[in-house]
Amino acid sequence: MAIAEQTVLIENKLGLHARAATKLAKLSQNYQAKITLTLDQKSATADSIMGLMLLTGSQGKEVKIIAEGAEAEQAMLAICALFSNKFDEGE
């Protein structure tokens, strides 16, 4: 089983709020991979909007992402792009 691991910086102003969490959850559901995000000793699966919001990821914080499964690498690339594009939020 493939495993990909990456640490990303939350750059968008509002952090992992409802809209960003929803985008991340929808994106992660497109891949055959279990994706987990960890921030400050708390973890959540990427397909859980509520779980992602409970991480309280704010701008400037680092999030560790682990993807496991057949499409782990593809999922990781897509998720890292989402973070670096600031969740497509105009600011």
Share of the chain above pLDDT 90, in %: 96
Whole-prediction pTM value?
0.94
Catalytic residue among 6, 14, 17, 58: 17
Residue with tokens 């600031």: 86
Active site residue 17: yes
Asked whether the CA dihedral 20, 87, 14, 9 is positive or negative, the reply is positive
Work out whether the CA dihedral 50, 51, 52, 57 comes out positive or negative. positive
Which domains, from first to last, does the chain contain? 3-88 (3.30.1340.10)
Radius of gyration for the alpha carbons in the chain, expressed in angstroms and rounded: 12
pLDDT tens-digit map of 30-77: 999 999 999 999 999 999 999 999 999 999 999 999 999 999 999 999
